[in-house]
Amino acid sequence: MELGVALNPAATGNAVDDVVAAARRAADAGLRSAWIGQRFDHDAIALAGIVGREVPGLRVGTSAVPIFARHPLLVSGQAQTSQAAAHGRFQLGLGLGAKDLIEPAFGVPYERPITRLREFLTALRSLLETGTADFRGETLTAAPPMPAAVAGAEPPVPVLVAAMAPQALGVAGELADGTLPFLAGPRTLEERIVPQITAAAERAGRPAPRVVALVAGVVTGDVDAARAAAAEATAFYDRVPSYRRVIELEGAERAADLVVVGDEEQVAGQVRRYFDAGATEVVFTQTDLTGDADRLRTWRLLGDLTRS
């Protein structure tokens, strides 16, 4: 089993030192990858590159960097730099982001998202694979007048898209290396996401796509406290249409219903359900719902499953 965890920088102290220390603990627990989400404070691509350099053997990635208000030339330079820093263990997770966050924060219109995604990925793939691009689309231009390759950024950075709806999955299957669905349960993976992105990749003559399922969950003896914390931590997603859709497809009423909570045996059973549904990797998020002791307990279980 390929298993990883999402890491969140601390709000106090030093965010970089905190994430590096957490990544070392994750690696010591036997985990194979660490993923860092993009917020409005730290830079996820840079932070992942630092972690990759400081924690040898651990694969690092972003989950996920919104493409609106960003340009493929800049993202390519960041991603290649982190790939060189991590000596080939970096992977770039991108997403469309939520309209209600993008528009007020950046002052840019959240328009034609699928066209934007297609053009962004087309330009970015050229930059990552050839070190240059000559792309002029409807929403962006990427035509650097000099080479844009970073020495040591080998192999070319893998690109995954946080896609869950049919159109976005189609673009991801055609132009990316896989998808990073969050809050998509096993049934939604098996019946919707895996078949749709796989068919798109086949039509484009691409390799079988990776499906890296992000799953909120924690191993704990205090299920009630974990459920209460999960309800608070995931309430935002209940208001986002793309997440609302996959929550309903799974037959759930709210995002908190999809949080995996229980003892080692119960959580291990749920992890296997995601792999049986077609996930190629499972990444646990929000493992700190009930404190650091349960977070480490969760990481130890995931490490044991990885080794088994």
Q: Write out pLDDT tens, residues 265-283.
A: 999 999 999 999 999 999 9
| DSSP tally for the chain: helices H, then strands E | 12, 12
Taking all residues of the chain, what is their mean pLDDT, rounded to a whole number?
Answer: 97
Amino acid, res. 151: A
The number of folded domains in the chain is 2
Amino acid, res. 174: E
As a whole number of angstroms, the distance between CA 12 and CA 86 comes to 26
Tell me the CATH number at 283.
3.20.20.30
Give Cα 166 to chain centroid, integer Å. 18
* Single residue among 111, 143, 161 that ends a domain in this structure: 161
Closest CA to 239 of 290, 183, 304: 183
Return the pLDDT at 10. Answer: 86
Amino acid, res. 88: G
Q: What is the pTM of this model?
A: 0.96
**Do 112 and 133 share a domain, yes or no?**
yes
**Do 122 and 41 share a domain, yes or no?**
yes
Cβ atoms of residues 245 and 164 within 8 Å: yes
As a whole number of angstroms, the distance between CA 161 and CA 182 comes to 11
**Do 48 and 76 share a domain, yes or no?**
yes
- Residue ranges making up the domain that contains 193: 163-308
Cβ atoms of residues 240 and 247 within 8 Å: no
Residue 98 CB coordination number (10 Å): 18
As a whole number of angstroms, the distance between CA 211 and CA 38 comes to 20
Task: With residue 95 as reference, give the H or E element that holds it.
Answer: strand 90-95
Q: What are phi and psi of 208, to 5 degrees?
A: -55, 130
Whether residue 197 is predicted with pLDDT greater than 90 in this model: the reply is: yes
**Do 289 and 157 share a domain, yes or no?**
no
**Do 285 and 152 share a domain, yes or no?**
no
**Do 147 and 91 share a domain, yes or no?**
yes
Convert 177-213 to b/e letters by CB count within 10 Å (16 or more is b). bbbbbbbbbbebbbebbbebbbebbeeeebeebbbbb
Whether residue 1 is predicted with pLDDT greater than 90 in this model: the reply is: no
* Single residue among 128, 143, 161 that ends a domain in this structure: 161
**Do 226 and 291 share a domain, yes or no?**
yes
Residue with tokens 């691009």: 133
Return the pLDDT at 308. Answer: 87
3-state class (DSSP) for residue 5: strand
Whether residue 11 is predicted with pLDDT greater than 90 in this model: the reply is: no
* Single residue among 161, 185, 218 that ends a domain in this structure: 161
